[in-house]
Amino acid sequence: MSKESNIDIYRRRFLSGTATAAAGLAVAPGVLLTEVANARPADEAVSSDVRWGMLIDTNKCDNGCDDCVTACNEEHNLEGFGRPTTDAQWIRKVTLKDKQTGHVQTLPMLCQHCEHPPCVDVCPTGASFRRDDGIVLVDKHICIGCRYCMMACPYKARSFIHEKLHDQMPYSPRGKGTVESCTFCVHRVDVGMTPACVEACSAEDHNAMTFGDLNDPDSDISQQLKQHSSRQIRADLELNTGVRYRGL
Amino acid sequence: MKELVFKEIDGGKPFYMLLGFMGLFVLTALGAAWYMEHNGHWVTGMNNQIVWGTPHVFAVFLIVAASGALNVASISSVFQKTAYKPLARLSGLLAIALLVGGLAVLVLDLGRPDRLIVAMTYYNFKSIFAWNIMLYTGFMAVVGVYLWMMMERKMNQFTRVAGFSAFVWRLILTTGTGSIFGFLVARQAYDTAIMAPMFIIMSFSFGLAIFILVLMGIYKWSDRPLGDSILFRLKNLLGVFIAAVLYFVLAYHLTNLYITENHGVERFILMDGGVYTRLFWIVQIGLGSLLPLALLYHPSTGKSRGWIGIASLLVIIGGMAQIYVIIIGGQAYPMELFPGKEVVSSFADGVVGSYTPSLPEVVLGIGGVALALAATFVGVRVLRFLPDSLSDEAVDPHYAAK
């Protein structure tokens, strides 16, 4: 009897051991792949194991500060022509005042890098596209400048290039007659850095912007999102935005 | 009813002068397009808030009117109304010409018109724009075949099938044009299925108004008889279409007025939208709908050719205003990103978008109209599109009984 129960125990141990090993095998690649993807070599394709996202804490966003905007303009050389209605703005500071309570807050608005981006849906040529890692971009080579994406974007995140540009950054190609928007600083992200706006925000110790992998449960952004309530702008559209806001 | 004899119109000096006049407008439009492309769109009234301006108003109007211009042919071939048969060829020609005019404007207003070939070779099949590219080119082919069936005696037997195909195609095409706006979730004024049927009924009205004017113009100018019988049929039909457009406009606004989240945009268009409110009430509703309705059905003005012409012209002006209010008014109203909040930013969040049409935009748009008319004139000059007489005796099947 006791022999039999011992065998049972061994059997149970063996089975649970195999199950743990199997579970470990199933989980490990996910974890490992995420690690690999974070430091993706240049010749490796972008993978959907990563979903880049940004969390903006409006409580930490300083009313008078526009460091994120300045950093973006410098990074991508978004030179202004002194014409606010036609100059490109990839990120902008928005000030909100509650009509009922008078509460004032401020936050940066940028491309929300939706999982289901309306700009990508409507683009006739496929110039607007979403990378597997969630970054929404415009292929400037096949953009015909129809501006339908600008009609479709619920966040007013896109700018049309209304005039000839000079001194462009090699990593951030732009062109007259095409549409553009925040790239999440894809050229930096691909080499393991964070977007310029996030870096600028941290440099001033505001830390209102967190950038990271939404698919990695251990990433700082995922942890913060898990602990605190946050929201998407125009969540009613069910676009599953990559940019989330706290304190809004 | 006598047998119809279709004939080319006479050429000569007046014809070439008219063609030259239209050509002048087309050339000026090309110059305007070059000026806008060379400098970039900042020289236009358009900006990052109002991304589609006056060229789109002209282009959408012409494209909508193009499918409507085919109606006369459809009534003849699909619904077997013999009275419209003599007009069917012109109807097909005008449909193609208006579409070409509209597309030319649309393409020349692109940020990169030089990349037209890209639009033809790269397709995103989820995009209604991409569908429209196929619907527009297909429309020209289908109507082209339809015209061939009508004009080639040996092919006449297929006229009804071809006419039916063209009719179905044009309904799908205008559904596509309306859905460019209907499918936009972002903006308060759009995002509604009524856009598709409303654009179809708008096409009936605008297309017929243009058809009546072109018909009256060509027959007067080429000295061919045009009887009251055919003209009065057309003007009565135009009246019905104007009323139908009014009904759709009413249904659209009533629905929005019922839904609280749309009160803002309704207040903007109907009450305090400045130029858009004035265009809506004075031009679209007053001058473009109610006045022509009164003129067309009034016992005396309804029998006057001059007044029928004026009524048709008013429908066109009202239609332009309607499309202006839809396209530009719809963009001018700020997007609701933060309901319940007052919004301020450097990117015109929360404020009404500013837009004033610039001269090159208007010139480009008019060039599209001129191109459509020039193509029509050349068509009726070189091919047998028009009967040599549209007198009551020639076209009215019941004339003898009167």
Are A29 and A127 in a shared domain? no
pLDDT tens track for A172-204 = 999 999 999 999 999 999 999 999 999 999 998
Task: State the pLDDT at residue A24.
Answer: 52
Burial A175-195 (b: 16+ CB within 10 A, else e): bbbbbbbbbbbbbbbbeeebb
Whether residue A80 sits in one domain with residue A10 = no
Mark yes or no for CB contact A160/B331 under 8 Å: no
Is A28 inside any structural domain? yes
The whole-angstrom distance between A74's CA and the closest CA on chain B is 17
Q: pTM, whole model, 2 decimals?
A: 0.91
Q: Are residues A111 and A208 in the same domain?
A: yes
Whether A149 and A118 map to the same domain: the answer is yes
| Nearest-neighbour CA in chain A from B125: distance (Å) | 8
The token duo for A150 is 């600008």
User: Which residues in chain B have Cβ-Cβ distances shorter than 8 Å to A126?
Assistant: 122-124
For residue B118, give the chain A residue with the closest CA: A142
Give the CATH number for residue A173.
3.30.70.20
- The pLDDT assigned to A29 comes to 46
Nearest by CB to A144, from B42, B119, B348: name it.
B119
H/E stretch holding A154 reads none
Contact at CB, A142 and B335, closer than 8 angstroms? no
| CA dist., res. A88 & res. A78, Å (int) | 7
- A119 and A198 both lie in a single domain: yes
Residue of B75 and A40 predicted with greater confidence: B75
Q: Is residue A43 part of a domain?
A: no
Per-residue pLDDT of chain B (402 residues; tens, 9 = 90+): 567 889 999 888 889 999 999 999 999 999 999 999 999 999 999 999 999 999 999 999 999 999 999 999 999 988 988 889 999 999 999 999 999 999 999 999 999 999 999 999 999 999 999 999 999 999 999 999 999 999 998 998 999 999 999 999 999 999 999 999 999 999 999 999 999 999 999 999 999 999 999 999 999 988 999 999 999 999 999 999 999 999 999 999 999 999 999 999 999 999 999 999 999 999 999 999 999 999 999 999 999 999 999 999 999 999 999 999 999 999 999 998 999 999 999 898 999 999 999 999 999 999 999 999 999 999 999 999 999 889 888 877 666 544
By the CB < 8 Å criterion, does A55 face chain B? no
Probe site for chain A from B37, B56, B116, B345 (most A CB atoms < 10 A): B345
Residue A47 maps to a domain: no
B130 to chain A, any CB pair closer than 8 A? The answer is: yes
Domain with A9, as residue range(s), is 1-38
Q: In this structure, are A7 and A82 located in the same domain?
A: no
**pLDDT tier at A35, thresholds 50, 70, 90:** very low
Contact B41 A162 (CB under 8 A): yes
Burial letters for A117-143: b for 16+ Cβ neighbours within 10 Å, e otherwise? bbbbbbbbbbbbbbbebbbbbbebebb
Do residue B124 and residue A100 have CB atoms under 8 angstroms apart? no
- Distance, CA of A196 to CA of A43 (rounded, Å): 24
Domains, chain B, ordered by start:
10-223+233-382 (1.20.1630.10)
pLDDT for res A5: 55
Could you tell me if residue A210 is inside a domain?
A: yes
- Residues A90-141 pLDDT 10s: 999 999 999 999 999 999 999 999 999 999 999 999 999 999 999 999 999 9
Instruction: Please check whether residues A137 and A193 belong to one and the same domain.
Output: yes
Please check whether residues A15 and A78 belong to one and the same domain.
no
Task: Return the number of CB contacts < 8 Å for A and B.
Answer: 167
A232 part of a folded domain: yes
User: Is A222 within a domain?
Assistant: yes
Chain B partners within 8 Å of A85 (Cβ): 47-49, 348, 354
* CB A56, CB A108: distance < 8 Å: yes
Contact A92 B346 (CB under 8 A): yes
Alpha carbons B220 and B210: distance in angstroms, whole number: 15
Does A119 map to a domain?
yes
Average pLDDT, chain A: 89
- Looking at residue B194, what is its pLDDT? 96
Q: Are B66 and B95 in contact (CB under 8 A)?
A: yes
CA B316 – CA B272 distance, rounded (Å): 25
Same structural domain, A229 and A116? yes
Question: Where does the pLDDT of residue A31 fall: very low under 50, low under 70, confident under 90, or very high at 90 and above?
Answer: very low
A45 part of a folded domain: no
Window 345-364 of B, Cβ < 8 Å to A: 345-349, 354
Shared domain check, A121 and A5:
no
Backbone dihedral region of A184: left (phi > 0), alpha (psi from -120 to 50 degrees) or beta? left
Asked whether the beta carbons of A153 and A121 are under 8 A apart, the reply is no
Residues A56 and A15 grouped into a single domain: no
Are residues A120 and A199 both part of a single domain? yes
- What is the phi/psi pair of residue B296, to 5°? -75, -30
With 90 as the cut, is the pLDDT of residue A75 above it?
A: yes
Assigned token pair, B58: 């002209």
Q: How far is CA A103 from CA A56, A97, A235, B94, in A?
A: 18, 5, 21, 59
How many domains does the structure of chain A reveal?
A: 2
For residue B390, CA distances in Å to B86, B251, B373 come to: 8, 39, 21
